[in-house]
Amino acid sequence: MNDNIYFMALGGGQRVGASCYYIKLGLSNLILDCGLGIDQNILFEPNLYCLLTSPFIQSLSQLNQIYISHAHLDHVGYLPKLLKETSNTPVFMTEMTAFLSEYQIYDKNFITPYRKKKEQERMATQYLLEKKAVYVSYMQTIDMQQYKVTFFPAGHIPGAMMMLFEYKNRKILYTGDFSVNPTPLTDGFSLPSGIEIDTVIMCGLYAKRPSVKRYSDGLGRLVEQVIHLLQNGRTVYCRVQQLSKGVEFLKVLNERNKEENLNYNIFIEEEVFRIVKKMEQLSIPIMTENNYLLGTCKEKQMHVIIGSKKIEQFPKYEKVKVDFTLHVDFDEMVQFIKRINPKKAVIVHCSEQDKDSEDTIEQRLMTDVQSRTQVIFAEEEKVYTI
């Protein structure tokens, strides 16, 4: 056996969705993330078959460890299915990720809005994770004999972690989705200074799109739009595309409400409310005194509802569709790579290039004299030695 480190994207290569990466460290077979993708309301899965037909493993029960970076559907949605096929493989994640994963999987059935079915699936996920999840903390190191792994805060959403693998004097960092600057509910990523990273496997959504600027504009603009409607005497229904985004939106709206003493009442639908409550139990403050569970308090003039219901159910309300992204933009990504200055950057979870004229992170780093990083845009189902 040689000491090579092999890498293969089983999903979430040069597209977004179904992120699932295989990495071989000596005798250990690892899976990093295990998500689902959605394309025009159709779910798609990672291709585990290409792993089974590779020289590495013949059965999914040969997988030694699974690591989940964070609780978004494109990183965790396929996990319940994989866990059913891997009898004893432990799955490492933070407690917050385990909790939020239940709700992401609950939420994936937005196509079939039957609450009972969604609830059943959430409970099944909770049960599976109770049996198989190993909760880890930031800054914790685990010695797995073949290799060591340490977890660091990734920003992005609560519970998100980066993982640093150390194998035969080499250091491999998997970022998951991350943020450089604070998001509504997290700080930016945090890595100790001075670690020499050989290879970074980076979720680089905008690595081929230098024109995309950071999310804050999007979320900030949505909040301004809602405040403007309220100031004009309207009531507003904010429909979230994802339950967890409802929590982030609520947090920013609350801050704005408080900063300017606006005192608008905010009613929260039960599905969003229970995530808010649980996050607060896990030490993330969100609610303020003018937040109410929808239906528990008489609604007053000029208020906001945050929920995920079909908009037709609220005919008298102004409707605002709440969607935004919490990803690092192109410049932040360049800044990140330059800071850690790895020998190789394997870019995954990458969306298509906008126009021919725009450059990519590869071209940008090539013209930078201080950068030594070789960029690889990893294609799905192809084996790389990293």
Count of residues that bind Zn ion according to CB under 5 A: 3
CB nearer to Zn ion: pick between 230 and 348: 348
Residue 221 to residue 324: CA distance in whole angstroms: 10
Looking at the Cβ atoms of 72 and 303, the one nearer to Zn ion is 72
Q: Interface with Zn ion includes 177 (CB under 5 A)?
A: yes
One character per residue 107-146, x = contact with Zn ion (rule: CB under 5 A): ----------------------------------------
Q: Which range binds Zn ion by CB under 5 A, 174-182, 261-269, 312-320, 365-373?
A: 174-182
CB of 245 to Zn ion, least distance (A): 11
Polymer length in residues for the chain: 386
Dist. CA 102–CA 80, nearest whole Å: 10
Contacts to Zn ion from residues 40-99, by CB under 5 A: 72, 74
156 contact partners, CB below 8 Å, separation of at least 6: 70, 176, 177, 178, 179, 183, 186, 189, 326, 327
CB of 35 to Zn ion, least distance (A): 7
380 is a contact residue toward Zn ion (CB under 5 A): no
**How far apart are CB 380 and Zn ion at their closest, in Å?**
15
Q: How far is the CB of 72 from Zn ion (least distance, A)?
A: 3
Q: Smallest distance from the beta carbon of 248 to Zn ion, in angstroms?
A: 12
Which of 103/267 has CB closer to Zn ion?
Answer: 103
In this structure, what token pair is assigned to residue 283?
A: 């030490």
What is the enclosing helix (H) or strand (E) of 132?
Answer: helix 115-132
329 binds Zn ion (CB under 5 A): no
What is the rounded distance in angstroms from the CA atom of residue 150 to the CA atom of residue 173? Answer: 9
Name the minimum Å distance from CB 73 to Zn ion. Answer: 8
By the 8 A CB rule, do 304 and 267 touch?
yes
Q: What is the dihedral of CA 193, 199, 200, 204, to 10 degrees?
A: 140
Burial bucket for residue 187 (CB in 10 Å: 0-12, 13-18, 19+): exposed
Cβ distance to Zn ion smaller for residue 9 or 266: 9
Shortest CB 71 distance to Zn ion, Å: 8
The residue with tokens 């037909």 is: 53
Q: Phi and psi dihedrals of 7, rounded to 5? A: -135, 140
> Whose structure tokens read 């792994």?
149
Q: What residue type is assigned to position 224 of the chain?
A: E
Please choose, out of 98-106, 143-151, 177-185, 269-277, the segment that lies near Zn ion by the rule CB under 5 A.
177-185
Stretch that binds Zn ion, among 45-53, 61-69, 169-177, 178-186 (CB under 5 A): 169-177
Judged by the rule CB under 5 A, the positions of this chain that interact with Zn ion are 72, 74, 177
